[in-house]
Amino acid sequence: MIPYVQSVASQEVPPPYHFPGVTVNAFVWEAHLPRVQAYCDRFFNLGDARDRGFTYGPAPMWPYAILLFIDYPVMISASRTPENIGQEIPYSDRGIVSQREVFISFPVVRLGTTPGGLIANSAVEWALPFIVVGEPMSAVCGREMLGLEKLRANIQIGESEFPGSFRGQVSLPGWATLTSDAMQGMLPFLDVATGPAVPTFRGSPEEHSLWTLFRSRVAQNAIGAISTASDAVETISAGTFPTSMQTVSLKQFRDAAEPGRALYQALVSCRSKYAVIENFQFYKEEDVRISFHLEGSFGETLRFIELPPGNPSDNDKDASNSFRPKAAYRFNANIDFDNMRTLHTFPVDRGPGLPPVAPTSDLTAPWLRPWRGFFGPGRP
Amino acid sequence: MTEFIESFATQQLLPPWTARGALTWGFAVRLSRCRIRDYLARYFNGGYPDEAPFYYAPLPGPQFGLLSVAYFPNVASGNLQTASRLGPGETSWDHLTHTEAYLSFPVLRYALSKDNLVTDPVLVWVEPFVFSDNDSVVFSSREIWGSDMYLASMVRELGLPAHQLHFDMGMIGIKNFSPRSMSELLAVLHIRTGGDSPASLAEILKANPDLDAFVKILGGSGAFAGKKPEGVDPSPYAGGVELNNLKQFRDCYDMGAAIYRSIVASKATHTEVDNIVVFDPSHVEIAFMWSDSIAELLTQLFDAEQPTDTGPPPEHFAAAQRTRRLRAKYPNGVPPPPDTFRLPLPTVPNDMDWDMNRVVLKAEFGFSFSSNVHFEVLSTIHTYGLTAA
């Protein structure tokens, strides 16, 4: 093992984390499956399929992209084992951080390329083609430890015009034009505004709205009951009924002298587990407006995400894309962020004089891991 | 070699880059030999598990570090890959502006043989910390050439007499470690110059002979305005322009393990140097604010076991009092802002929490200059983990 030397200037708090009392605002629209496949091919399906033993693709059973605004009032370091940090004060004894996060995610399916791999190595995971955070250290940890392509942004969250509504705005460093003299600035990227949560004095959603499925109190209580029982459900079913979001991302680093070359590439996974879900409320989709500014250098941001066609009468004049989602809702929950692991290390040719990085794999699907731990070979 | 997979999130400032019209302020501060030795042992000289074929050692004689602030109004990558986004034939794109504050000090890098013989000393600089106010620069510096760089809020007062500096820096941190302490924007560093030196460089060196070797090194390093100042002898050491960084990345499962670790050599060259000014060191204020988040840095690098002075610098005293009143009113923490949508305002120095004691550092020597800066990565001089320990 090569030891990591923690810098004296570092304020990093590595995962796992526990986030109590999180507020989530979620917006769902249809994903464009060929683009999801293109994303998988570019970032996950590196090299030859037979060599790596798996192929990622879109999840046709849930063909949606989801945009989440998450407000974490408290972030607690929650390592369940002693931290390997020498004489330093344990992270959980130092204090707590608050932060905001915005990301777009879609589910992807990993399929093993052999009959055995198809059974043992297949899994549903979530790709995050866009993720920004307000806290710089969160961006550093996310990028360097987990391979999440986190950027730091100004994230504003509050109410829109009506009481009980939501507004979220994201500004990012970018270049307004793709010209040789353009100077980087903090530019608006995303603006989301809703009406109040339903039922509302502004009228009910239309009958095809997702909200109609949940408008009874029995259904709303069922959401809470499922979330409360999620631990038991996941344990009893050995992961076959997942109640959490397992992400997958490409962790890679550039060579210093030749930055177009990679010196490390691996698929890394971690888990966001939602519990104690409360105050689940829908927004009326007709009251929701999502506007992206995709000018200049932002044009590449959503290359793998097809945005729905906009409503011309409702377009934000300044935005390049403005549309309404298929569903929009909010809830409060506790979130645990844990279970980080390297799924697969790709073989990387580091250049003359250096041995290539050898491939490694730890692809066993979540449902099989408890059984493998029980019957399989012991840890080295 | 394997291709790096580009995405929107990796639109970084790729090396080499050039900064036009940069302003640099440098202040020599005394450091402790044993702290430098400990730093080098921790970062460069250990077995990880294999040892690099180098041995880093402090210079003989008095030890100095250079605490610097650099304002880069226009930085652009000269990497053709970056410029190619605009089309063939383009040579630069991604112009940005940022400010840096950093500590660097010179050390000797010896070649280390398999028999543990050290030979061929070369003077190189190491940079234990660097702060920037630009995310793109932070991600590039950390992920490409391995700088220990962190994002900070920086405010440089405008409208001062030419070349003079008032610089305040803050970062998100925790004042007193406790499981219930909340992070906040803490003041970290305050620097103010108080006028040019009435004495010539020769007179300054005569009054403070300990500085002689350090100023010679600065003269030969390119850090001091790209050329040797008048009246300063050549540096007694070979080298002097190279910066060595430890580039490392954590394992996602074991936070104490690295999946990659190497030493990267780079250099910055100054050209079109102008407006060289030497400050009166007795009127330079340098104060680091003492918080639990910064305490280890102050102890490990500046040998400060505790604050040297009570409270913040006088000009930030009122801001500290305001923070104290707010805490008295809200003993369980300042409530969050009302749930209305508000756009953020630009940072002003007194938005930071200054209600802390401070560590005052004595500036032995101070200068500023303007220049164009060209930064390039020389090579990765050692990659750990490739040979058996």
Q: Do B251 and A96 touch (CB under 8 A)?
A: no
Q: Which domain holds residue B206?
A: 17-169+187-304+359-383
Residue of B2, B46, B74 lying closest to A262 (CB–CB): B2
Lowest mean pLDDT among A238-242, B76-80, B117-121: A238-242
User: A180 vs B92: CB contact, 8 Å cut-off?
Assistant: yes
Q: In angstroms, rounded to a whole number, what is the distance separating the alpha carbons of residues B69 and B238?
A: 26
Please give the share of chain A, as a percent, with pLDDT higher than 90. 44
Q: Are B362 and B29 in contact (CB under 8 A)?
A: yes
Q: Using a CB-CB distance cutoff of 8 angstroms, which residues of chain B are in contact with residue A180?
A: 83, 86, 90-93
Residue B110: pLDDT over 90: yes
What number is the average pLDDT over the span A254-269?
94
Q: Which of B3, B5, B7 to mutate against chain A (most A CBs within 10 Å)?
A: B7
Contacting residues of B for A130, CB less than 8 Å apart: 8
Confidence of residue A229 (pLDDT cuts 50, 70, 90): very low
**pLDDT tens figures, A136-182:** 999 999 999 999 999 999 999 999 888 889 999 999 999 998 888 88
Measured CA to CA, the distance from residue B286 to residue B80 in angstroms comes to 40
> CATH code at B64?
2.40.400.10
Mean of pLDDT values over B119-126? 95
**Does residue B280 sit in helix, strand or coil?**
coil
pLDDT at B233: 73
The pLDDT of residue B291 is above 90: yes
Is the pLDDT at A226 greater than 50? The verdict is no
CB spacing of B83 vs A180 below 8 angstroms: yes
- Inter-chain CB proximity A96 and B181 less than 8 Å: yes
| Run of H or E including B217 | helix B212-221
pLDDT grade, residue A337 (50/70/90)? very high
Which amino acid is present at B342? R
Nearest CB to A254 within list B95, B143, B174: B143
Cβ A180–B90 below 8 Å, yes or no? yes
Please state, rounded to an integer, the average pLDDT across all residues of chain A: 83
What are the two backbone dihedrals, phi and then psi, of residue A319, each rounded to the nearest 5 degrees?
Answer: -90, 150
Do residue B5 and residue A263 have CB atoms under 8 angstroms apart? Answer: no
The percent of residues above 90 in pLDDT, for chain B, comes to 68
CB contact under 8 Å between B249 and A270, yes or no, is: no
Q: What is the pLDDT of residue B51?
A: 86
- Is the residue at B351 inside a domain? no
User: Considering the domain boundaries, does residue B138 fall inside one?
Assistant: yes
B292: chain A residues, CB-CB within 8 Å: 94
Give the Å distances, CA to CA, from B363 to A78, A123, B302, B360: 42, 60, 13, 9
B301 contacts A257? CB cut-off 8 A: no
- Partner residue opposite A2 with nearest CB, options B148, B340, B385: B385
Question: Would the CB atoms of A341 and B257 count as touching at under 8 Å?
Answer: no
User: Which residues in B lie closer than 8 A to residue A145 (C-beta atoms)?
Assistant: 249-252, 255
Confidence bin at A313 (pLDDT 50/70/90): very low
Hey, is B294 helix, strand or coil?
Answer: helix
Percent of chain B with pLDDT over 70: 91
- Cβ–Cβ below 8 Å for A252 and B4: yes
Window 223-242 of A: residues touching B by CB (8 A cutoff) are: none
Whether B183 sits inside 8 A of A97 (CB atoms) is yes
Average pLDDT of the residues in B164-193: 93
DSSP symbols for B121-149: EEEEEEEEEEEES-HHHHHHHHHTS---E
Q: Pick from A136, A182, A261: which is nearest to B2 by CB?
A: A261
pLDDT tens digits, A2-37: 888 888 888 888 888 999 999 999 999 998 999 999
Q: What share of chain A is helix, strand, coil (3-state, %, to 5)?
A: 20, 40, 40
Are the beta carbons of B380 and A1 separated by less than 8 Å?
Answer: no
Tell me if chain B has a CB within 8 Å of the CB of A191.
Answer: no
- Subunit contact A350:B249, Cβ cutoff 8 A: no
Reply yes or no on whether the pLDDT at A251 is more than 80.
yes
Packed helices B135-143 and A136-146: angle between N→C axes, nearest 10 degrees:
30
HSE-CB for A245 with a 13 A CA cutoff? 17
Q: What is the mean pLDDT of residues B246-263?
A: 91
Whether residues A340 and B42 touch (CB distance < 8 A) is answered with: no
Containing B26, the helix (H) or strand (E) segment is strand B17-31
pLDDT surpassing 50 at residue A242: no
Please tell me the predicted confidence (pLDDT) of residue B67.
98
Q: What local confidence, expressed as pLDDT, does residue A310 receive?
A: 67
Q: What is the mean pLDDT of residues A267-273?
A: 93
Residues of A whose CB is below 8 A from B81: 259-260
Q: Count chain A–chain B contacts defined by CB atoms under 8 A.
A: 268
Contact A144 B48 (CB under 8 A): no
| pLDDT of residue B295 exceeding 90 | yes
Three-class DSSP category at B283: helix
Inter-chain residue contact B93 with A147, CB threshold 8 Å: no
Kindly report the nearest CA distance between residue A5 and chain B, in angstroms.
Answer: 7
Indicate if the pLDDT at residue B60 is higher than 50. Answer: yes
The model's confidence at residue A380, banded by pLDDT at 50, 70 and 90, is: very low
Residue range B353-360: mean pLDDT, rounded: 96
Of the candidate ranges A122-136, B43-57, B321-335, the one whose mean pLDDT is the lowest:
B321-335
Q: What is the pLDDT of residues A197-221, one digit of tens each?
A: 887 666 666 656 655 555 555 555 5
Under DSSP, is residue B39 helix (H, G, I), strand (E, B) or coil? helix
**In the predicted structure, residue A312 carries a pLDDT above the cut 50:** no
Element at B82 (helix H, strand E): helix B80-83
Q: What is the mean pLDDT of chain B?
A: 89
Report A:87-116 residues touching B (Cβ under 8 A): 88-89, 92-98
Cβ–Cβ gap A149/B9 under 8 Å: yes
| Domain tally, chain B | 1
Q: Is the pLDDT of residue B389 over 80?
A: no
Residue to substitute from A81, A83, A184, A304, interface B, most B β-carbons within 10 A: A184
Whether the predicted pLDDT of A231 surpasses 80: no
Determine the average pLDDT of the residues in B213-235.
71
| Residue B5 placed within a domain | no
In a domain, B340, yes or no: no
* pTM of the model as a whole: 0.90
CB contact under 8 A, A140 and B386: no
By C-alpha distance, the chain B residue nearest A88 is B296
pLDDT in tens, B197-214: 999 888 999 999 999 999
> Which residue is closest to B16 within chain A, CA to CA?
A257
Q: Which residue of A has its CA nearest to B48?
A: A2
The residue among B385 and A86 whose pLDDT is bigger is B385
Chain A hits for B48, CB-CB cut-off 8 Å, are 2-3
Say if residue B43's pLDDT is above 50. Answer: yes
* Domain-embedded: residue B328: no
In a mutational test of the B interface, the residue from A94, A133, A150, A162 whose CB has the highest number of chain B CBs within 10 Å is: A94
Instruction: Compare CB distances from A137 to B5, B131, B172 and report the shortest one's residue.
Output: B172
Please check whether residue A259 touches B, CB under 8 A: yes
Integer-rounded Cα Rg, in Å, for chain A is 22
Two tokens, residue A122: 């297949």
Q: Inter-chain contact B2–A348, Cβ cutoff 8 Å? A: yes
Nearest CA in chain A to B177: A94
Cβ–Cβ under 8 Å, residues A306 and A104 = no
Q: Is the dihedral of CA B123, B129, B134, B140 positive or negative?
A: positive
Nearest residue of chain B to residue A146 (CA atoms): B252
**Looking at the predicted structure, is the pLDDT value of residue A245 above 60?**
yes
Please give the pLDDT value at position A86. 66
Note which residues in 46-85 of chain A have CB less than 8 A from chain B: 46, 73, 83-85
**CA distance to partner chain A, nearest, from residue B334 (Å):** 13
Q: Which residues contact B2 (CB under 8 A, 6 or more apart)?
A: A261, A262, A263, A265, A346, A348, A349, A350
Query: Residue B320 domain-assigned?
Result: no
Higher pLDDT: A177 or B247? It is: B247
Closest residue, chain A, to B148 (C-alpha): A7
Using the 8-state DSSP alphabet, how is residue B209 labeled? G
CA distance linking residue B34 with residue B45, whole number of Å: 14
Chain A partners within 8 Å of B143 (Cβ): 143-144, 253-254
- As a whole number, mean pLDDT of residues B234-238 equals 81
Nearest-neighbour CA in chain A from B201: distance (Å): 33
B2 domain residue, yes or no: no
Rounded Cα–Cα distance for residues A263 and A253 (Å):
6
Instruction: Kindly tell me the burial class for residue B241, based on how many C-beta atoms sit within 10 Å of its own C-beta (0-12, 13-18, 19 or more).
Output: middle
Contact residues for A8 (Cβ-Cβ < 8 A; gap 6+): B128, B129, B296, B297, B300, B301
**In-domain check, residue B264:** yes
